Structure 1
Amino acid sequence: MELSLSRVHFPVTTLGPGRRLGIWFQGCSIRCPGCISADTWGPGQRRLEVDQLLAQLAPWLQEADGITLSGGEPFDQFEALLLLLKGLRRLSCVDILVYSGYPLEHLQPRLHQAAGLIDGLISDPYEEHLDQSLALRGSDNQRLTLLTALGRSHLAPYERALEPADKALDLMFDDNGSVWMAGIPRRDDLLRLRDLLQEQGHQIQTSAHRH
């Protein structure tokens, strides 16, 4: 089975505890206004077999303290997501955190199908007009649901308000020179980064409208 993939990065240190393997799905039907990952909305061009992806991830899984899946919208590719989760669980015993823009209630049937495969879920759409005061969340309506004993052990400490150490971003550089960010930026972080880079003479482009 094929999966539409945006990107993979290791290590990610801003989307859960430890040095994590980050996997971003490509394609999102929700498209929340103000989304930091608008470049992942469209269908994309990079499709690969789940088994092929798992083989590529295997070396990183030897070192990862956890795995975070985001997007895009992972549950828009549910059959591929389920196959990937089963493979990750087979290859590693670390916690798996999944981000989704769907309300928790909408996801319940699929969470039942994925029982034991997802340790923690952050659900609900991003609402740019709401406060941003909770760890790992872009807006305070989003919920952290702990689904396994491993999730409760590793991820329960994130059921709290933002702390200074949370206000960090990982920067990732692709071979083609593209720069990506991982983490939960504050509302003005991107503006400050844009101004800083422009002051240094860099040309700034965004992918927010590339669908």
Structure 2
Amino acid sequence: MTTPLALSRLHFPVTTLGPGSRIGIWFQGCSIRCAGCISADTWAQKRGMTTVEEVVETVARWIPHANGITISGGEPFEQPGALETLLRAIRKASQLDVLVYSGFPVENLEHHLRNMDGLIDALISDPYEIGSTQTLALRGSDNQRLHLLTELGKARLASYERPVRRDERRLDMMVDLSGEIWMAGIPGNEDLNRLARLMASQGHHIQTSQDRSNRASHD
């Protein structure tokens, strides 16, 4: 029996979303739709349909070379059955730490977290707030909270409960088989706008997946 999963993308290595070289798994579909989200391409529902089993088969070859796994989106907890099945398979196949990003407040996830007890080592919760300051490590806005849920999570990620360092203000850049360029990480509020202006000054036009519904706050 297979478990359906709407998937945006997979990538290894990711070095900007947690310690070490990590396997990145991005779920597809999000109803929260935070203004200014840099991943508005992951909002649409029922795209990128695959199965948990196919995802596990793909990441299995990366596990021996990885230091951890980061799951984001999209909103992973809007596919709770697929998320739990994936987490159980990951836990069975490896001893890597698992960091999950969610736009929901942790108080809204208590039922899911009970069902997934011991499967998520660290959780970053709460929606991105476009008007918030952005000074904390691993977080897009300072209202977001880091929750250390296991001893492994505490050992691997407790050191990220601090201000972001200058050397962490960076992005991983990848090119897929179609030639599309995409980035992983947590850019500053103005970073993508600066990139667009730089490219324009050199005669290039880029279109990003950042939500523009509240663009005036950044331009």
Question: Is the shorter-chain TM-score for this pair beyond 0.5, marking a shared fold?
Answer: yes
- CA drift of 1:208 comes to 4.3
Secondary structure of residue in 1 paired with 2:205: coil
Partner of 2:216: none
Contact 1:6 1:44 in 2 (8 A): no
Partner of 1:106: 108
Structure 2 residue aligned with 1:198, among 161, 184, 200? Answer: 200
Is 1:15 paired with 2:14? no
- CA drift of 1:202 comes to 2.2
Cα deviation digits, residues 35-82 of structure 1 (max 9, x gap) = 111110002531111111101111111111000000000000000000
Contact 2:196 2:205 in 1 (8 A): no
CA separation in 2, counterparts of 1:207 and 1:189? 13
Secondary structure of residue in 1 paired with 2:147: strand
- CA drift of 1:165 comes to 1.5
Contact 2:126 2:145 in 1 (8 A): yes
- CA drift of 1:115 comes to 0.4
Q: Structure 1 vs Structure 2: percent identity of aligned residues?
A: 57
Partner of 2:217: none
- CA drift of 1:9 comes to 0.8
Select between 193-202 and 113-122 the one with higher mean Cα deviation.
193-202
Partner of 1:166: 168
So what's the TM-score if we normalise by structure 2? Answer: 0.93
CA RMSD in angstroms, aligned pairs only? 1.3
Partner of 1:88: 90
CA separation in 2, counterparts of 1:131 and 1:27? 26
Secondary structure of residue in 2 paired with 1:62: helix
- Runs of 5+ consecutive residues of structure 2 not aligned to the other structure: 212-219
Partner of 1:151: 153
- CA drift of 1:98 comes to 0.1
So what's the TM-score if we normalise by structure 1? Answer: 0.96
Structure 2 residue aligned with 1:43, among 42, 45, 50? Answer: 45
Cα deviation digits, residues 2-40 of structure 1 (max 9, x gap) = 100000111000000000000000000100101111110
Select between 151-160 and 163-172 the one with higher mean Cα deviation.
163-172
- CA drift of 1:195 comes to 1.4
The letter of the residue matching 1:20 is R
Partner of 1:180: 182
